Amino acid sequence: MQYNTIEKAGIKVSNLSFGCMSLTDSSTGNDALIGKAIDAGITLFDTADLYEKGENEKLLGKAIKGRRKDVAISTKAGNRWRSDGSGWDWCPEKKYILKAADESLKRLQTDYIDIYLLHGGTVDDPSDDVIEAFERLKEQGKIRSYGISSIRPNVIRKYVSEYDIAAVMTQYSLLDRRPEEETLPLLQENNIAVLARGTVAGGLLAGKPAADYLDTDAKEISAIINKINTMLPNRDFTEKAYRYVMDSPAITTAVAGIRTAAHLQQALMAADATILAVQERQMLRDIWEGNKYVQQR
């Protein structure tokens, strides 16, 4: 396992992180699975108050009890469940974020959150209020650092230019190379950590049958997958997908959605594989021209 540092927070994290979203409270073996990940060297576990109406945070808190000093936690706020449970509404309000943080701390059974992220956002949000809430939480010792979870370049640019955020979570993979156009260079230039989600593109880069993905139809996805499969035959198919993300100089950690022991093992094998050589990475880049942002530029 390799490790990187979230420079603006002084937090050391593994280049592979555990995305807890796929775990459910009814799943068996969550504690053992998370424990195995910690034993293997994974240090960052990602969740959100939105997932299963907070139950995801609860199961993570339960699983890491007694091992809190060994891990870092990232969680998110900004989406408020309706009282009738019919869905959620976007609520980037200072008062709500302060309340949401306290509730997350209780569910996680911890005194502090390592990385607290705004779970989405638009350029029209009251961003000053959001940052005021984050700063207050930081002053109170309830969070160690903060940032945003977004795929929107215009939102990311706004927060980078106007605030001292420590991290951005964004979607990035061999099938979603949009961040390469402007987001990743911007974040690297400003020394902001990047937590990359969607590394295996919803399973398409981990063995699932080809299907439409973003603005690319299933036929083209199939052709891209076949090329990835035949390229660099000395490397496992999914290993190539993970390493392409992990070995980007802008990426701090790849957040893998893990639900089973097999998912964990597959991700760990990729994390322990040798770094892609410059030529190998370029060969994977050359498979297709990549996609670009159409909206929220």
Q: Which residues are annotated as catalytic?
A: 51
Which has the closest alpha carbon to 290: 257, 253, 244? 244
Cα distances from 290 to residues 23, 27, 136, 236, 287, in angstroms, run 31, 37, 40, 21, 9
| Residue-wise burial string across 171-197, b where 16 or more C-beta atoms lie within 10 A, e elsewhere | bbbbbbbbbbeebbebbbeeebbbbbb
Angle between helix axes 153-162 and 127-139 (nearest 10 degrees) is 50
Could you give the CA distance from residue 184 to residue 249 in angstroms, rounded to a whole number? 9
Amino acid, res. 158: K
Contacts 24+ apart (CB under 8 A), 8-12: 8/145, 8/164, 8/165, 8/166, 8/167, 8/191, 8/192, 8/193, 9/114, 9/115, 9/144, 9/145, 9/166, 9/167, 9/193, 11/72, 11/114, 11/115, 11/144, 11/145, 12/43
